[in-house]
Structure 1
Amino acid sequence: MMFRVRRFSRLSWKRIFLFGSAFVLFWIFVFSLTPITSPLPAYTGPHQVGVLDVEVEGQKRLIHDAVLKETGDKAFELSTLAVTLYYPAALPPPSSSRRQPEARPWLPQPLSLIGTGYARLVHVYFPPFQKVFTFALWLLGSKTTIPGQVDAPILSGAAKLLIDESGDVDGLEKILKYAEKESLGDVQQMELRGEEDADEVGLFPFVVFTHGMAGMSQSYSHYLGSIASHGYVVAAVEHRDGSGPGTIVHYPEGGEKKVWHMELGDLDSSPPLNELDLKAIQLAFREAEIQETIRLFKLLNAGHGDLMRNLKPDSPRTALPSFKNRLNMSAVTVAGHSYGATGAMQALKNAPRDTMPINGGIALDPGKESGPLNADIDIPLLVMQSGQWTEKQTQFYDQGWHFDVVRRIVGGVKEGWFMTLAGSAHPSCTDAPLIVPWIMRLATGTTLDAKVALKEYIDVSVAFLEYLREGEKAGVLGGGVTSEKGPLGDKEERGKVEGRFGAEWEVHVVP
């Protein structure tokens, strides 16, 4: 006992202060050499990017009659649609009389909603502990902004022409000089022309993106914003199917409802649901949200943007009328990651049709526990897997190894590509490795630089989208199979091809 007291007495306040100061200084030194967070990089394309959060009233429908045990509310009732838009924009020159566009914070508001949502996702319900999750989010992402301008006007036909001719950043200077010289008058006139002149103004294809389990609409902002910077309008759906950490439905008549992450035990249903039932319902809910997104764009293209009420608090809507006659409604591509990739492939069933005029699909790491994958696909499909997703194989719903199932599906598509980005990890297409690079390297063991991985994903995705427009296969898409069996074959048969930014791709299936 005396020995213990002596040992304890040696820990004087002076010693505690000295050791504590050394500990703090050590970690300040570590973080100064390896910053805990990094800003999001500029987009890869030639165009500036506008960003806008939109929530609009949808066609109300009940996907399933299950209710939440916690509140008694219907769990799968679709009433509003929430999306984050990324679109090519030409920013006017600064002016004291013109409202300057704002940057969009990367983390959605209120931050406490997302922090609480992630805490609930890992079954932490004690409020003080939930605040720790909110603090961690604030620490890691509060200063990060998406490098796009909120509610910026969509790129005009004249600006698109100038920047396409230049092909580099000098084109932006030409746009600004043109806009300043003409006081934007000619550009506004072009945007007000009728549909008969739409080809002259320029039509933008668009992409509907569906996020993965526990993801959010802005979790892929660099990937999606870069696609937009190449001349595409992108809508990232904020899913209300219970797969995200948390979201708020704002009703047109007033009031709101919080939607948290849902698990089987959170639901009451007659007859009771099993895991496959829940996934099928969530995928059906996502498909309905994709249909609502396409319907939204049809309304915008028809010139009804000025009539739309944006239900998202503190989010503007002045850019919406400029979408009139600017969208190519016959060129809709659906893309997704993980659970979202399963949902994107599900949406391709029997496409194209009137409610789903889809011309192609992009699937990043199709889910391994998201339910069986749809194989009824008659339109072009690009499947890109991370090295981590391809190497770690699992049996897939009694259909064989996951890799083999995906390869058979893509091989059965008339125009299908299936490839793996070597050295990448499952989150490599998200913003997380860009914002907290060293944490993600430790967590995933990836050997490929995060910026390089995203550039490769973006480059191949844009090449696929350009193929849908022009019919020309560029880059990795233009080559042949280098590794048919991937991890299921012999090592010496696993050939690779170098991507545009120096990373290596294994190509498993080509048309």
Structure 2
Amino acid sequence: MSFPAWVSGNKKNETPRSNSGIGKGSVPRGKKPKTRPPSSLRDKAGFLHGTLPKYSGPYSVGVMDIEVPAENPRNFSHITRHDQHILKLETVLMTVYYPTAIGVGSGKDPAGHKKWSRETWLPRPRIKMAKGYGKFAGVGAIAVPWFAATTMFTKLPAYRNAPISQHWPPRDNLQHAGPKVKSESGPPPPGESEEPCFPLMIFSHGLGGTRTTYSSVCGEFASYGFVVSAVEHRDGSGARTFVNHARSGVGSMKERETAGPVDHNEKERRRGYDQIDYIFPKDNPYDTSPSNHKGVDSELRDAQLQLRLAEIEEAYNVIRHIDGGRGGEIANKNLRREGYVGSSSRGLDGVDWALWKDRIHCHRVTVLGHSFGAATTVEILRNADRFQYVGQGVMYDIWGAAVSPPVEEPRHRIHCPLLGINSEAFMYWSSNFDAVHALIDEAKKHGAPSWLLTVRGTIHVSQSDFSILYPQTCAMLLKMTANPKRALDLNVSATLEFLKKVMPQRSAMIDRCFTDEGLLDTEPVEELPTEHKPKEKWMAARLKIPHEFRSRFVPKITRKIRRKRRQNQKHDPNDEIWMHVTSSEEEVTAWNENKSEKGEGDDPGDPGGD
């Protein structure tokens, strides 16, 4: 599945390790996860099939699948397989998660269908996607019955093509007010418009990922008032993806070959689409492993990063066109509609594009990524001249070896706020931890508020949907001890606290409905803990659990006992996270005042211009 991106590391100059003695014990003493009640029979029958939790924010969530021809198709690098370039940009594919209007999910949908449609977690065509995962994981065709028995029919708790919200939420969230909060509205905050304008996030997935692999994270942010563009990369880093081509005209194979130029083989011409599987580096297929002494395949990974950056530029332009009132044009170009591979028969039917005009903040965009996607985030932040609309970045369990060394140009450094969140499994990977620490230091050196923390009891896939859909596998094989839903809460909460601090002019929604847990105000630990550090062969993949039976088979009981003992005690964030680097309130204030003086707090000009 989407397991760790490992790489061998230089063990020189490692951060000193010792047993900190902080929060000993196998099971983190965490809060209960936020309430997310099931919404249908499919979701309630979780014992029969994997289900995803309903989003905890005050908004219901909508999704749109969009694939359109790239404005600037081209090849990346000279790398070929079977005499054909394997890194090429022809279309951009994304799932957009967003807040929806009250009443979504009841009655007929906007296109007049009796039943509202929900996206499947495993993208279509599901059997081919399952085979792609089997090839990626090295288990072959056995992946098909595995997915069929577990998650092939799992659906996202979000409605396809729902109308975007036109209301401000009430002053509460699902955790405190219950499901009714999603059917209520509140008055606009002081100084805000009658209709909310939602900040934009762009999410980049890790190795083996897709645009839906991180639906829990992306949907959570949408439920708190963000528009999230989750890009599906076509750089050979996903298990499998499909590139559609128009029958004729712009986006057709003939047009792409002329405009690119890009190349296709006869099989692709006959079926009308490209199938891109995970690319294993030639002569170094496991360049992601810490024990691989050959190191990372820099030529391939650098080229993939450049393709990813181009895809994110294309995705951003699509969102700008939608915000600028040109959503109808995007719908006409959309290749995720009936008759195309991987598509729903509904396409973008029923979307009222007039509601989307001037509804997205396209400046001070937040870029987030997991693993290789976090390396993509760093590359974007280091190219500020190219990505002037990006305001801050979030790194979830970054694969540090994939990050290109900064060039000599001083501008090619991180100059904006940065948040890094590690899993405990990745924290023990010494060379990788040193790399992420250096990135945080780079941002702080240039005056940008930055934080680095670790969520205890978590593994690399704890920031994706895999740990939620396969909790027993993660607990028994990878030794995850954190509640997977609570791990999701901690990642989302820390991110929202970060955004509240570094983009206060966009925090009206967060202020209204998010409960700040004070995670980023936690004091840093002086030394890194080592009590769960695994043997070298399992580095970054799993944790070492001293009390195996208790942690593998009865973690729920352990957590309940500890919660009962601490009912009247104030929650201590140190029970669930380790803070490594933090920024003071003075540093945050100075940063925001400097931005305000430079006039960088608001969207410059027409946010939806061409």
Same fold (TM over 0.5): yes
Matched, 1:134 2:144: yes
Does structure 1 conserve the Cα–Cα contact (< 8 Å) formed by 2:75 and 2:85? Answer: no
Change (3 A) 1:202 1:120: same
Structure 2 residue 155 is matched with structure 1 residue 145: yes
- Structure 1 residue aligned with 2:132, among 117, 121, 124? 117
**Alignment of structure 1 residues 61-140 onto 2, 5 Å:** 61-70=73-82, 72-92=83-103, 94-95=106-107, 98-99=112-113, 100-122=115-137, 130-140=140-150
Give SS of 2:453's match: strand
CA contact (8 A) 2:369 2:376 kept: yes
Change (3 A) 1:415 1:484: farther
What are the within-5 Å matches in structure 2 for residues 310-349 of structure 1? 310-312=334-336, 313-314=343-344, 315-317=346-348, 318-319=350-351, 321=353, 322-349=355-382
Mapped pair 1:258 → 2:275: yes
Q: Which residue pairs with 1:301 in the alignment?
A: 323
User: What is the Cα deviation at residue 139 of structure 1?
Assistant: 1.6
Q: How far apart are the structure 2 equivalents of 1:101 and 1:75? A: 38
Cα gap change, 1:480 to 1:410, in 2 (>3 Å): farther
Alpha-carbon distance in structure 1 between the residues aligned to 2:171 and 2:518:
25
Distance 1:421 1:166 in 2: 26
1:95 and 1:371 map into 2 onto residues whose CA distance is 49
- C-alpha separation in 2, matches of 1:109 and 1:376: 39
What is the count of residue pairs matched by the alignment?
Answer: 433
Q: 2:427 is matched with which residue? A: 390
Take 1:506 and 1:294, find their aligned partners in 2: how far apart are those partners? 34
**Matching of residue 405 in structure 1 with residue 420 in structure 2:** no
Q: How does 1:188-227 map to 2 (within 5 A)?
A: 199-227=193-221
2:396 to 355, 364, 367: 364
Per-residue Cα deviation, 1:166-220 (whole angstroms, up to 9, x for no partner): 55443433359x9xxxxxxxxxxxxxxxxxx994322110110000111111111
* 1:476 matched residue in structure 2: 518
1:92 is aligned with what amino acid? G
CA contact (8 A) 2:453 2:577 kept: yes
Structure 2 partner of 1:229: 223
Which SS does the other structure have where 1:424 is aligned? coil
Q: Distance in 2 between matches of 1:298 and 1:144?
A: 31
Kindly indicate whether the alpha-carbon contact (under 8 Å) linking 1:456 and 1:501 is maintained by their aligned counterparts in 2. Answer: no
Partners of 2:132 and 2:375 in 1: CA distance: 23
Q: Distance in 2 between matches of 1:120 and 1:324?
A: 42
Secondary structure of the structure 1 residue equivalent to 2:282: helix
Q: CA deviation at 1:67?
A: 4.8
1:277-326: per-residue Cα shift (whole Å, max 9, x none)? 11111111111111111111111111100111220132522436132110
Deviates most, 228-237 or 302-311 = 302-311
TM-score, normalised relative to structure 1: 0.77
Deviations 1:34-61 (A, max 9, x none): 9575421111211000012111111233
User: Which whole-Å CA distance do the structure 1 matches of 2:298 and 2:79 have between them?
Assistant: 17
- Structure 1 residue 150: Cα displacement: 0.7
Q: Is contact 2:235–2:307 with CA below 8 Å preserved after alignment? A: yes
Q: Is the 8 A contact 1:230 1:462 kept in 2?
A: no
Q: Mind listing any 5+ residue stretches in structure 2 that lack a counterpart?
A: 1-45, 253-271, 285-295, 337-342, 407-411, 534-569, 584-610
Separation in structure 2 between the aligned mates of residue 80 and residue 503 of structure 1, nearest angstrom: 45
Aligned residue in 1 for 2:180: 170
Residue 443 of structure 2 is aligned to residue 443 of structure 1 = no
Q: Counterpart in 1 of 2:597?
A: none
1:292 corresponds to: 314
Contact between 1:300 and 1:320, CA under 8 Å: does it hold in 2? no
CA distance 1:456–1:502, change in 2 (3 Å) = farther
- Paired amino acid for 1:370: A
User: Per the alignment, in what secondary structure is the counterpart of residue 503 of structure 2?
Assistant: helix
The answer for the alignment partner of 1:379 in structure 2 is 416
Q: Larger helix proportion, structure 1 or 2?
A: 1
1:373–1:202 distance in 2 versus 1, CA, 3 Å: farther
- Secondary structure of the 1:453 match is helix
Q: Counterpart of 1:201 in 2: which secondary structure?
A: coil
The structure with more radius of gyration: 1
Amino acid of the structure 2 residue aligned with 1:137: F
How far apart, in 2, do the equivalents of 1:501 and 1:90 lie?
34
Q: Secondary structure at the match of 1:292?
A: helix
Residue by residue, what CA displacement relative to the aligned partner does 1:325-350 show, whole Å, maximum 9, x if unpaired?
10011131100001111111111114
* Equivalent in the alignment of 1:47: 59
Match of 2:582 in 1: 510
SS in 2 for 1:303: helix
Higher relative contact order (CA 8 A, sep 6+): 2
- Letter matched to residue 151 of structure 1: N
1:83-138 deviation per Cα after TM superposition (whole angstroms, max 9, x unaligned): 011100114363369434212111111123222222332457xxxxx432222222
Q: What's the counterpart of residue 262 of structure 2?
A: none
Deviation at 1:463, TM superposition (A): 1.8
Superposed CA RMSD in Å reads 3.3
SS of the residue corresponding to residue 486 of structure 1 reads coil
Kindly state the Cα deviation for residue 68 of structure 1 after the two structures are TM-superposed: 3.6
Structure 2 distance, partners of 1:155, 1:441, is 38
* Inter-CA distance 392–478: structure 2 relative to 1 (3 Å threshold): closer
Alignment deviations for residues 398-429 of structure 1 (CA, whole Å, 9 cap, x no partner): xx944643453354352111111111111111
Alignment of 1:420 onto 2:457: no
The structure whose residues are more often strand, as a share, is: 1
Stretches of 4+ moved more than 6 A in 1? 498-502
Aligned-partner Cα distance in 1 for 2:391–2:147:
38
Instruction: Tell whether 2:528 aligns with 1:486.
Output: yes
Residue 228 of structure 1: CA displacement? 0.6
Match of 2:69 in 1: 57
| Structure 2 partner of 1:283 | 305
Q: Secondary structure at the match of 1:200?
A: coil
Task: Tell me the distance in 2 between the aligned counterparts of 1:198 and 1:482.
Answer: 36
Taking structure 1 as reference, are residues 357 and 119 closer, same or farther at Cα in structure 2, changes over 3 Å only?
Answer: same
In the alignment, the residues of structure 2 paired with residue 135 and residue 123 of structure 1 have an alpha-carbon distance, to the nearest angstrom, of 15
Give me the whole-angstrom Cα distance separating, in 2, the residues matched to 1:228 and 1:47: 8
The secondary structure found in structure 2 opposite 1:305 is helix
Q: Distance in 2 between matches of 1:427 and 1:65?
A: 30
1:422–1:504 Cα contact (<8 Å) kept: yes
Q: Percent identity?
A: 26
* 1:418–1:459 distance in 2 versus 1, CA, 3 Å: same
Contact 1:362/1:461 (8 A) holds in 2: yes
Give the partner amino acid of 2:471.
P
- Is the CA contact (8 Å cut-off) linking 1:453 and 1:503 kept in structure 2? no
How far is 1:444 from its partner? 1.5
1: CA distance between counterparts of 2:144 and 2:580?
A: 42
Q: Secondary structure at the residue paired with 1:506?
A: strand
Q: 2:233 aligns with which of 230, 235, 239?
A: 239
What one-letter code is carried by the residue in structure 1 that aligns with 2:582?
A: V
Worse-matched range after superposition: 480-489 or 218-227 = 480-489
Q: Which amino acid aligns with 2:85?
A: K
Contact 2:217-2:463 within 8 A present in 1 as well: yes
